[in-house]
Amino acid sequence: MTDELAVLIERIGRSGFLLHSFQGDRHGPDVLAAVRDFGGIADVVIMFDAERACAYRTPTGPGIDIFAPTKVLWSYASSAVWTLRALVTLAAPGHPDAPTELTAAPPGLGVPREWRERVRIRKRT
């Protein structure tokens, strides 16, 4: 893990994101996700490895699977560093610069159900 990636992960942890480690074992998680719930809207970032990550803002509520979004207000996919950079600069919901147009989620966003059998959840304090 690069120094910048470690700093960005630390930053989202301190800013209220709940960390989810999927398929983890003693060697670490296969997939790391983080969710910040704003109440009705959540920001989600999923890091598959240093070279592949995605982030999105999606509605939340009963019956909505935030790890398999069908609609998003914003999305981005690139390396983990670039994806986290995009996420930390995204305007909060309600801000004049925040995205407001709900669109269909691009293919490939989220965590496949079969990868979610083992999960560990942590909140940074």
Residue 120 pLDDT > 60, yes or no? Answer: no
Give me the mean pLDDT over the 28-52 stretch.
89
pLDDT in the model for residue 121: 56
CB atoms near residue 83 (< 10 Å): 22
Q: Tell me: the pLDDT tens digits for 16-37?
A: 898 888 765 566 557 888 999 9
Q: How many domains does the chain have?
A: 1
Give residue 124's pLDDT band: very low, low, confident or very high (50, 70, 90).
low
Q: Tell me: the pLDDT tens digits for 70-113?
A: 999 999 999 999 999 999 999 999 999 999 999 999 998 988 77
In this prediction the pTM is: 0.86
Phi, psi of 3 (to 5 degrees): -60, -40
**Residue 14 structural domain:** 3-123
What DSSP element (H or E) covers 114?
A: none
Q: Which of 76, 51, 55, 46 is nearest to 1 (CA)?
A: 51
